[in-house]
Amino acid sequence: MEKKKIIPILMLGALVLGGCSTNQKSEKSDKAQVTDKDTFTYAINGDPTSLNPINVSDRWGLTVTNMIYSPLVRVEGDGTQKMELAEKLEPTDKGKALVVELKENVKWSDGQPFTADDVVFTYEQKVKKENGGADTLWIDDKPIKAEKLDEHTVKFNLPSANAAAINNIATETYIIPEHIFKKEGDFSGSELKGEPVGTGPYKLDKYQRGEYLQFSANETYYGNKATVPKVNLRIISSADTTKVALQKGEVDASYISPNNIKDLDGTKLDTYEYSENRVGYLGLNNNSEKLKDVKVRQAIFYALNKDDLNKAAYLSDKYYENAYSFLPPNNPFYSDKVEKYETDITKAKTLLGEADAKDLKLNLAFASDDPIQTLQATLMQQQLQQVGITVELAGGDGTAMFAELKKSDTTKYDLFIGGYIMGTDPDLYTSLFKSDGSANYFHYANKKVDDLFNQGAIELDEAKRHIIYENLQKELMDEAVIYPIVDSRKVLAVNNRIEGIKESGLVPIYTFEDLSKIKIK
Amino acid sequence: MVKYITRRILQVIPMLLIVSFIVFFMIHLAPYDAIDAITTPNMSQEAIDLLRQRYGLDQSFLVQYVLWLKNILSGDLGYSLVTQQSISSELLTRIPNTIKLILPAYLTALIIAVSLGLLAGANKGKVIDRLIDGICSIGISMPTFWFAMLMIYLFGYRLNLLPIIGMHTVGQEGSFIDFFKHFIMPYFVLVVAFFPDLTRYVRSSTFSQLSEDYVMVQQSFGASKKEIFMKHISKNVLLPIVTQIGLALPMLVTGAIITESIFGWPGIGPFLMTATKGLDYPVIMAVMLLSATLVILGNLLSDVLYTIIDPRINQRGTK
């Protein structure tokens, strides 16, 4: 019996080997590449959650929205402003109002002219809390109001002076046409009934749920008309399939993880790395009795080795940058004049001794389906062992972990690994670190931090604002509640028949800032 | 007969209620809900509370269950909490896609299984039997996703014969040839996933038939092996296969979850996977209810088919 079973096993083995040994023939298979000259195909890993520009917040939803609609202004990663539908914006009334002049001769994709009414209409919908996208348009529980001055000028009235608001209201809000959506009734859903008519570089032709979204160039786009007539977003949930589809040329571009990059050597794929301004961190739960003493927290940080954690996870410094503050390194307010917690085992041990924390046992939560977090968690376990801290690994579902950490009195986890992409203005980070912040997973309360956040929000002088946030970063690092690990790069693999990827502007979330700039060779 | 079927169908109702309650309860045991799954740190607590309120997730477990049940009874499967798409319309587009893939694969597997099973049974202990048994062992122990990746790598990439993603090339929805090209690989993977179990089943029931008295009687009457197989054993072996077909009914919905996800086939698979990840309970409940109904109907179907083939069973069922 045993002997006979060998035959099919051998057959199978031959099949596997056959698959591997054809490596040299890869040039041969290239000839049948999908060579559609008109279409750029981008692989995404799931359906967009929302296609409603008023409340969209998921990655693919925003990617699609950014192709169809335009905001008034964009804030680039380095903090500079890029005008889109706005011609000019100026704060007035001592920071209590913002006047926006709109570009003239902009048309919607159905040919209707774009006017101030559309802007006012959009903001009137967006400011309604029940529509689910209002957070940045409320200051001290009072709404920001948009007012039409003339056909091409809109004034935003703020309840009180607020430096962050001036940035936030004009960005991230995609203007929708009043003539299409005025009869909509409900803007709280994830899809609107009206046609997706926009001012962006592309328009949506067809959406086949679970399969693809098909776009064609918008003839009336106010920027340069797109050179690639058609774009498909193809939905593939399996990362392995995506990789093969890329190698084969069935799709032109997709995100890949750094450990897959090597497999793409010798193929027709180029990789582009760019920062998403994401901060990957180790967080400390201040509800935990064991972590109440600041010396214990600092000891943990001194025991860790950031370089080792990152090298192990991201392989090459092409794909990451060490992070030292709660703000990502590219942020215009980023300061490295903070305690960096360079590895110092002796110091860590001394601090633990001073705090009288012997045989410290902590648990560490992380998302076990994330290979990078899993790797870093095991490394941290080893590193902390060196100073006598025993770490118990508590891997699990990421969503469940943060749902638990959100509870105000949670003590289930002592340490946790996470990451956030919050945007450019430092005021957007208040929800994480202010005592009453809605995403204060650290359960950290410090009046000094609260005060600094409050001052930063209302300070209109740019230079003074910088000083405030510098102090804030210093304070947070001294207090040792968050150990920023990394600004990890996204890696986009693109078929080399596609050109102009850099010109299209690789940005957080949307991937391509302006897809009209890509070309097909 | 009609009375029997009616009674069986009526028995289904309390059963579905219990199943739905258990599943609903289990979903609520999870440490987070659909709103947690779509929450980002940028969202204020107020916005999150509003969302939770809108979907009734702030209500107690029992109230939520009763509300859900009320909707179901009025024929409304509800909306996905995450995408807010109507679940029934999603199911109506996705189920046919799944059936298009599963039905041919299952029928092929059945034909292969009956032929191979009888062949193995007729040659008990011989090389051919061991070979078939060996192939089945490999088939059963081989993970579907791994085999699918192997196919994708070999036929999709290395040999570049077949497309690897989806059901159609974008823009060629009407083309049958295009569909067929996309169909071959997932179909083959499913055939390989389905046939080993069925083959083993046929093989072992052939064995048990061989040891029955009537075979010995036939042999002593001088009937040839071929005659015994064609006239008697194959009929008796096919009878239990009917049960298998009935039990396979729920597979039409949930039988290809992994394969569909790997090939990006727009069926129930990826839909259910995403919903489960996001704890989108109305979707999970709808698919579960559908599949539970099919399990019960499948059982009923196989019983009914049995009574048609062998009326003695009917008498037992209705006594």
Query: pLDDT tens across A167-223, in order?
Result: 778 777 999 999 999 998 888 888 888 999 999 999 999 998 889 999 999 999 999
Model ipTM value: 0.85
Mean residue pLDDT of chain A comes to: 88
Cβ-Cβ contacts under 8 Å, B35 against chain A: none
Cβ-Cβ contacts under 8 Å, B140 against chain A: none
Which pLDDT band holds residue A391 (cuts at 50, 70, 90)?
Answer: very high
Contact A113, A85 (CB under 8 A): no
Q: Find all residues with CB under 8 Å of B60, minimum gap 6, and list them.
A: none
Which pLDDT band holds residue B314 (cuts at 50, 70, 90)?
Answer: low
pLDDT for the residue A246? 93
Q: Using one digit for the tens of pLDDT, what is the confidence trace for A435-481?
A: 988 899 999 999 999 999 999 988 888 899 999 999 999 999 999 99
Which of B32, B49, B150 should we substitute to test contact with A (largest number of A Cβ atoms within 10 Å)?
B32
Cα of B194 to nearest chain A Cα, Å: 18
pLDDT at A32 over 90: no
Cβ-Cβ contacts under 8 Å, A191 against chain B: 83-85
Q: What is the mean predicted confidence (pLDDT) over A482-501?
A: 93
Instruction: State percent of chain B over pLDDT 70.
Output: 97
> Is B150's CB within 8 Å of A15's CB?
yes
Which pLDDT band holds residue B317 (cuts at 50, 70, 90)?
Answer: very low
What CA–CA distance (Å, rounded) separates B36 from B48? 8
Instruction: State percent of chain B over pLDDT 90.
Output: 42
pLDDT at A126 over 70: yes
> Is A135's CB within 8 Å of B168's CB?
no
Mean residue pLDDT of chain B comes to: 88
Which of A29, A422, A438 lies closest to B157 in CB terms? A29
pLDDT for the residue B250? 87
What CA–CA distance (Å, rounded) separates B57 from A149? 43
pLDDT at B100 over 90: yes
Burial classification of residue A137, based on how many CB atoms lie within 10 Å of its CB (0-12 exposed, 13-18 middle, 19 or more buried): buried
Cβ-Cβ contacts under 8 Å, B84 against chain A: 189-191
pLDDT for the residue A95? 83
Instruction: Report the first-to-last Cα separation within chain B, whole angstroms.
Output: 11
pLDDT for the residue A31? 36
What CA–CA distance (Å, rounded) separates A150 from A160? 24
Contact B22, A415 (CB under 8 A): no
Which of B32, B42, B51 lies closest to A403 in CB terms? B32
Q: Give the DSSP letter string of B238-273.
A: HHHHHHHHHHTTTHHHHTTHHHHHHHT--SHHHHHH
Q: Using one digit for the tens of pLDDT, what is the confidence trace for A358-378?
A: 889 999 999 998 889 999 999
Which of A32, A130, A428 lies closest to B42 in CB terms? A428
pLDDT at A53 over 60: yes
Which pLDDT band holds residue B313 (cuts at 50, 70, 90)?
Answer: low
Q: What is the mean predicted confidence (pLDDT) over A403-426?
A: 92
What CA–CA distance (Å, rounded) separates A203 from A147? 29
In whole angstroms, how far apart are CA A426 and each of A333, A463, A472, B41? 7, 14, 10, 14
pLDDT for the residue A162? 84
pLDDT for the residue A19? 40
Token reading at A349: 């041990």
Range with the poorest average pLDDT among A135-149, B178-192, B235-249: B235-249
> Is B41's CB within 8 Å of A235's CB?
no
Which of A16, A58, A234 lies closest to B165 in CB terms? A234
Q: Using one digit for the tens of pLDDT, what is the confidence trace for B29-50?
A: 888 888 888 888 888 888 888 8
> Is A12's CB within 8 Å of B138's CB?
yes
> Is A241's CB within 8 Å of B264's CB?
yes
Strand partners, A88: A101
Cβ-Cβ contacts under 8 Å, A22 against chain B: 158-159
Which of B45, B94, B164 lies closest to A245 in CB terms? B164
Which of A12, A191, A431 lies closest to B41 in CB terms? A431
Q: What is the mean predicted confidence (pLDDT) over A76-95?
A: 86
In whole angstroms, how far apart are CA A448 and each of A139, A163, A303, A475? 21, 20, 27, 8
Pairing of strands A86-92, A97-102: antiparallel
Range with the poorest average pLDDT among A176-190, A325-339, B210-224, B275-289: B210-224
Which pLDDT band holds residue A21 (cuts at 50, 70, 90)?
Answer: very low
Contact A519, A285 (CB under 8 A): no
pLDDT at A386 over 70: yes
Q: Using one digit for the tens of pLDDT, what is the confidence trace for B148-164?
A: 999 999 999 999 999 99
Cα of A135 to nearest chain B Cα, Å: 6
Scored b (16 or more CB within 10 A) or e, A305-341 reads bbeebbeebbeeeebbbbbbbbbbbbbbbbbeebbeb
Q: What is the mean predicted confidence (pLDDT) over A10-17?
A: 44
Q: Using one digit for the tens of pLDDT, what is the confidence trace for B50-72?
A: 888 888 888 899 999 999 999 88
What CA–CA distance (Å, rounded) separates A248 from A424? 37
Burial classification of residue A205, based on how many CB atoms lie within 10 Å of its CB (0-12 exposed, 13-18 middle, 19 or more buried): middle
> Is A420's CB within 8 Å of B41's CB?
yes
Q: What is the mean predicted confidence (pLDDT) over B270-279?
A: 89
Cα of A510 to nearest chain B Cα, Å: 16
pLDDT at A29 over 60: no
Q: Using one digit for the tens of pLDDT, what is the confidence trace for A98-114?
A: 999 999 999 999 999 99
Q: What is the mean predicted confidence (pLDDT) over A397-424?
A: 92
Contact B241, B110 (CB under 8 A): yes
Which of A12, A60, A141, A237 should we substitute to test contact with B (largest number of B Cβ atoms within 10 Å)?
A237
Q: What is the mean predicted confidence (pLDDT) over B264-289?
A: 90
Token reading at A433: 């670190």
Nearest to A77 by CA among A466, A421, A317: A421
Q: What is the mean predicted confidence (pLDDT) over B135-147?
A: 94
Which pLDDT band holds residue B247 (cuts at 50, 70, 90)?
Answer: confident
Cβ neighbour number for residue B236 with a 10 Å cutoff: 15
Which pLDDT band holds residue A129 (cuts at 50, 70, 90)?
Answer: confident
> Is B50's CB within 8 Å of A129's CB?
yes
pLDDT at B316 over 70: no
pLDDT for the residue A35? 55
Cα of A444 to nearest chain B Cα, Å: 15
Which of A16, A237, A439 lies closest to B273 in CB terms? A237
Query: Residue A495: helix, strand or coil by DSSP?
Result: strand
Specify the DSSP class assigned to residue A428.
G
> Is B85's CB within 8 Å of A250's CB?
no
Burial classification of residue A459, based on how many CB atoms lie within 10 Å of its CB (0-12 exposed, 13-18 middle, 19 or more buried): buried
Cα of A38 to nearest chain B Cα, Å: 13
Cα of A451 to nearest chain B Cα, Å: 19
Cα of B284 to nearest chain A Cα, Å: 17
CB pairs under 8 A, 24+ apart, for A193-197?
Answer: A195/A110, A196/A51, A196/A68, A197/A108, A197/A109, A197/A110, A197/A112
